Amino acid sequence: MATETRDAATEDKGKPEKRKRTSPLLFIRQVVGELRKVIWPTRGELVNYTIVSLVFVLFMIGIVTLLDWGIQKGIYALFAG
């Protein structure tokens, strides 16, 4: 903790803190509780996000392809004479 003094931090140095294990049932309850807090996207938002992602990926593929083609032509021009 940020508010601990140096002496308090060195006292527990040799003793690892024991944690209690969570039961599987409690774990499942916690997971379900957290999933209820999630704000799930609507169908329209999901379609929009998917289209934006695909357009971005296609754009990046185009950039990488053009760079690859340009470097290839440069290397061929350099070594072919």
Write out pLDDT tens, residues 34-66: 999 999 999 999 999 999 999 999 999 999 999
* Residue-averaged pLDDT of the chain: 87
The two three-digit tokens of residue 52, written as one number: 């934006």
- Cβ-proximal residues to 22 (8 Å cutoff; 6+ apart), any chain: 30
Given a cut of 60, is residue 27 above it in pLDDT?
yes
- Cβ-proximal residues to 41 (8 Å cutoff; 6+ apart), any chain: 49
Residues listed for the chain: 81
What's the N-to-C CA distance of the chain in angstroms?
67
Whether the full predicted model's pTM is greater than 0.85, yes or no, is no
Cα(73)–Cα(67) distance, integer angstroms: 10
